Chain A
Amino acid sequence: MPDQSDDIIRQYYEDVPLDEDYLLQVPEIVMMDDESLVDEPEIEVSSEMAFRKSKKTLEGDVLVVGAGISGMQAALDIADKGYRVIMIEKSATIGGNMVKLDKTFPTNDCSICTSAPKMVEVARHRNIKLITYANLSKLEGEPGNFKARIFRKSKYVDPDKCTGCGDCVPVCPVEVINPFEEKLAKRKAIYIEFPQAVPIVYTIDYDACVGCGSCERFCEPDAISFLEKSEDIEVSVGSVIIATGYELFEPLEMRREYGYGKYPNVITAMQFERLLSSFGPTDGKMKRPSDGEKPKSIAWIQCVGSRSKQLGFPYCSRVCCMYATKEASIAKELEPGMNVSVFYMDLRAYGKDFQQYYDKAKKMGVEYIRSRPSSVYQNDDGSITIRYMDTHTREVAEKTVDMLVLSTAIMPSKENKRLAEALGIEIDDSGFFQVKSIMTDPIMTTRDGVFLAGCNQGPKDIPDSVSMASGAAAKAVAPIIDRVKVIPTPDPPQKQVVGEKPRIGVFVCHCGKNIHSFLDTEEVARYSETIPGVVYAKDIMFACSEDTQKDIRQNIDALNLNRVIIAACSPITHGGLFEDTLVEAGLNKYLFEFVNIRQHCSWVHSHNKVTATQKAKDLVRMSIEKAKLLEPLSQEEVDVTTGVLIIGGGLAGMRAALALADMKIPAYIIEKDSELGGQLRHLHTLFPSDIKASEIIQPIIQQVEASEYITVYKNTTLENIEGYIGNFKATINSPDGEIEIDYGTTIIASGFGEIDMTGKYGYGQSQKIMTQTELEGRILKNDLPNPKKIVMINCAGAMDKERPYCCRIGCGVSIKNAKLLKEKFPNSDIYILYRDIRVFGKDEEEYFAKVIEDGHIKIVRYSHEEQPNVVIDDDGNLTVKVRDQVYNEDITIPTDLLVLTAQTEGDPSAHKLVEMFKIPIGPGNFFIEAHAKIKPLDFATGGVYFCGSAHFPKNLADTIAQAEGAASRAAIPILKGKITLEGITALVDDARCVGCGLCVDACPYSAIELTDEGKALVNEALCKGCGLCNATCRSGAIQQKGFNDHQILAMIKSAMFEVI
Chain B
Amino acid sequence: MTQENEAKDEWEPKIIGFLCNWCSYTGADLAGTSRLQYPPNIRIIKVMCSGRVNPQFILKAFQEGADGILVSGCHPGDCHYIEGNYHARRKLTLLMDLLDYMGVDSKRFQMSWVSASEGQKFAEVVTTFTNQIKEMGPQTKLRGVK
Which residues of A are at the interface with B, using a C-beta cutoff of 8 A?
107-109, 333, 570-572, 596, 598-601, 603-608, 611-612, 614-615, 618-619, 622, 915, 918, 920, 922, 928, 940-941, 984, 1002, 1004-1005, 1024-1028, 1030-1032, 1040, 1043, 1045, 1048-1049, 1051-1053, 1055-1056
Whether A604 lies near B123 (C-beta < 8 A) is yes
Whether A1004 lies near B48 (C-beta < 8 A) is no
Q: A570-B29, A572-B26, A599-B28 are in contact. Are A1043 and B48 (CB under 8 A)?
A: yes
Whether B40 lies near A611 (C-beta < 8 A) is yes
Q: How distant is A120 from chain B, measured CB to nearest CB, in Å?
A: 21
Of the listed stretches B1-9, B52-60, B103-111, name the one at the interface; the rest are far from the partner chain: B52-60
Which residues of B are at the interface with A, using a C-beta cutoff of 8 A?
14, 16, 22, 25-26, 28-38, 40, 43-49, 51-54, 56-57, 60-61, 64-66, 77-78, 80-84, 87-88, 91, 115-117, 123
Q: How distant is B22 from chain A, measured CB to nearest CB, in Å?
A: 7
Q: How distant is B86 from chain A, measured CB to nearest CB, in Å?
A: 10
Whether A1025 lies near B48 (C-beta < 8 A) is yes
Q: How distant is B35 from chain A, measured CB to nearest CB, in Å?
A: 5
Whether B57 lies near A1004 (C-beta < 8 A) is no
CA distance A991 to B9 in the complex (A): 51
- A1031 to chain B: which residues have CB within 8 Å? 51-54, 87-88, 91
CA distance A1055 to B123 in the complex (A): 20
- B30 to chain A: which residues have CB within 8 Å? 599
CA distance A604 to B38 in the complex (A): 6
Whether B37 lies near A928 (C-beta < 8 A) is no
Whether B48 lies near A1027 (C-beta < 8 A) is yes
Q: A605-B40, A1055-B43 are in contact. Are A1045 and B56 (CB under 8 A)?
A: yes
Q: How distant is A516 from chain B, measured CB to nearest CB, in Å?
A: 15
Q: How distant is A280 from chain B, measured CB to nearest CB, in Å?
A: 20
Q: How distant is B17 from chain A, measured CB to nearest CB, in Å?
A: 10
CA distance A611 to B84 in the complex (A): 34
CA distance A1048 to B45 in the complex (A): 8
- B34 to chain A: which residues have CB within 8 Å? 108
- B117 to chain A: which residues have CB within 8 Å? 920, 922, 928
- A600 to chain B: which residues have CB within 8 Å? 28-29, 32, 44
Q: A1027 is contacted by which of B33, B49, B82 (Cβ under 8 Å)?
A: B49
Whether B32 lies near A615 (C-beta < 8 A) is no
- A572 to chain B: which residues have CB within 8 Å? 25-26, 29
What is the chain B residue whose CB lies nearest that of A618? B43
- A1030 to chain B: which residues have CB within 8 Å? 52, 54
Q: A611-B40, A1049-B60 are in contact. Are A599 and B52 (CB under 8 A)?
A: no
List the 3 closest pairs (A to B, CB-CB), nearest first: A599-B32, A1027-B52, A1026-B81
Whether B14 lies near A1052 (C-beta < 8 A) is no
- A333 to chain B: which residues have CB within 8 Å? 35
CA distance A599 to B34 in the complex (A): 9
Whether B60 lies near A603 (C-beta < 8 A) is no
Known: A1040-B48, A1048-B47, A1055-B45. 11 other contacts (CB 8 A): A108-B35, A604-B31, A604-B35, A604-B36, A604-B37, A606-B37, A619-B43, A619-B44, A1005-B81, A1026-B80, A1027-B47
CA distance A614 to B36 in the complex (A): 19
- A614 to chain B: which residues have CB within 8 Å? 40
- A1048 to chain B: which residues have CB within 8 Å? 45, 47, 57
Q: A1051 is contacted by which of B38, B45, B53, B83 (Cβ under 8 Å)?
A: B45
Whether A596 lies near B29 (C-beta < 8 A) is yes
Q: B32 is contacted by which of A603, A608, A915 (Cβ under 8 Å)?
A: A603
Q: How distant is A2 from chain B, measured CB to nearest CB, in Å?
A: 46
Whether B77 lies near A1027 (C-beta < 8 A) is no
- B47 to chain A: which residues have CB within 8 Å? 1027, 1043, 1048
Whether B33 lies near A1056 (C-beta < 8 A) is no
- B48 to chain A: which residues have CB within 8 Å? 984, 1025-1027, 1040, 1043
Whether A605 lies near B54 (C-beta < 8 A) is no
Q: A920 is contacted by which of B40, B44, B115 (Cβ under 8 Å)?
A: B115
Whether A604 lies near B32 (C-beta < 8 A) is yes
- A and B contact pairs by CB, cutoff 8 A, 11 listed: A572-B26, A596-B32, A601-B40, A984-B48, A1002-B87, A1004-B81, A1027-B52, A1028-B87, A1031-B91, A1055-B45, A1056-B65
Q: A1052 is contacted by which of B36, B40, B64, B81 (Cβ under 8 Å)?
A: B64
Q: How distant is B145 from chain A, measured CB to nearest CB, in Å?
A: 13
- A605 to chain B: which residues have CB within 8 Å? 37-38, 40
Whether A1024 lies near B37 (C-beta < 8 A) is no
Q: A984-B48, A1028-B87 are in contact. Are A1053 and B31 (CB under 8 A)?
A: no
CA distance A1002 to B88 in the complex (A): 11
Q: How distant is A599 from chain B, measured CB to nearest CB, in Å?
A: 3
Whether A615 lies near B31 (C-beta < 8 A) is no
Whether A599 lies near B33 (C-beta < 8 A) is yes
Q: A572-B29, A1028-B49 are in contact. Are A1052 and B44 (CB under 8 A)?
A: no
CA distance A612 to B42 in the complex (A): 11
Whether A607 lies near B29 (C-beta < 8 A) is no
Whether A1043 lies near B29 (C-beta < 8 A) is no
- B49 to chain A: which residues have CB within 8 Å? 1026-1028
CA distance A60 to B87 in the complex (A): 52
Q: A107 is contacted by which of B33, B56, B115 (Cβ under 8 Å)?
A: B33
CA distance A928 to B117 in the complex (A): 9
Q: A108-B33, A1026-B81, A1030-B52 are in contact. Are A622 and B28 (CB under 8 A)?
A: no
- B91 to chain A: which residues have CB within 8 Å? 1031
Whether B87 lies near A599 (C-beta < 8 A) is no
- B46 to chain A: which residues have CB within 8 Å? 571
Q: How distant is A408 from chain B, measured CB to nearest CB, in Å?
A: 28
CA distance A605 to B49 in the complex (A): 26
CA distance A835 to B110 in the complex (A): 46
What is the chain B residue whose CB lies nearest that of A1026? B81
CA distance A1053 to B56 in the complex (A): 13
Whether B40 lies near A612 (C-beta < 8 A) is yes
- A570 to chain B: which residues have CB within 8 Å? 29, 32
Whether A1028 lies near B45 (C-beta < 8 A) is no
Whether A1004 lies near B22 (C-beta < 8 A) is no
- A619 to chain B: which residues have CB within 8 Å? 43-44
- B88 to chain A: which residues have CB within 8 Å? 1031
Whether A1026 lies near B51 (C-beta < 8 A) is yes
Q: How distant is B76 from chain A, measured CB to nearest CB, in Å?
A: 12
What is the chain B residue whose CB lies nearest that of A1057? B64
